[in-house]
Structure 1
């Protein structure tokens, strides 16, 4: 869905800010949980969802969703 729309760093930054505000709005107070959720969303927004800005046709058909845990990206 995000592929083929060109680079959009400002939109990514704003999306991350909105996500952080939404965490506060729903009352996620635990700083560790908020930190992990922020890191995941920021990573997903600026890496995996931004990986194919030129064309959706370049997205591999066998692309897998990476695993994330409390320690971050699992390789």
Structure 2
């Protein structure tokens, strides 16, 4: 069985999805600030695409070649408190609204699997530490998402 990563079109499509999502977030009044921050990594969309790819069954580029970790990602999003309550669903909408722009296959199963993953991440783990980045454990495993949910 192919992975969601493969069915979606691989890294090329996920890079376009990260870029299109980033543009939509910049255009959103609520999401603009964190996405336009000067301290964002200069390769934010490439890193986001690699993160999504790894989570969806693709290569471990994010954790191995980019020295990324789930702990780092969670600490970046920690201590946002009530902001994440409103921002998380809007981020999910930006991703979903970017599917056509990015060339995500018009396959309901693929689109639903990506949507389910992004919704799960944005509404769950990315809101797990609302008070402090210091609350995030040092050794969080990279999440993996398959056709039936977390693996």
Normalised TM-score (structure 1): 0.90
Long gaps (5+) in structure 1? none
Q: How do 1:3-22 residues align onto structure 2 when only pairs under 5 Å count? A: 3-7=78-82, 8-22=84-98
Residue matched to 1:2: 77
Question: For structure 1, which segment, 53-62 or 2-11, has the greater mean C-alpha deviation from structure 2 after superposition?
Answer: 2-11
Normalised TM-score (structure 2): 0.47
Larger relative CO (CA 8 A, sep 6+): 1 or 2? 1
Long gaps (5+) in structure 2? 1-75
Aligned length: 74
C-alpha separation in 2, matches of 1:26 and 1:60: 34
Choose between structure 1 and 2: higher strand proportion. Answer: 1
C-alpha separation in 2, matches of 1:57 and 1:26: 36
Residue matched to 2:108: 31
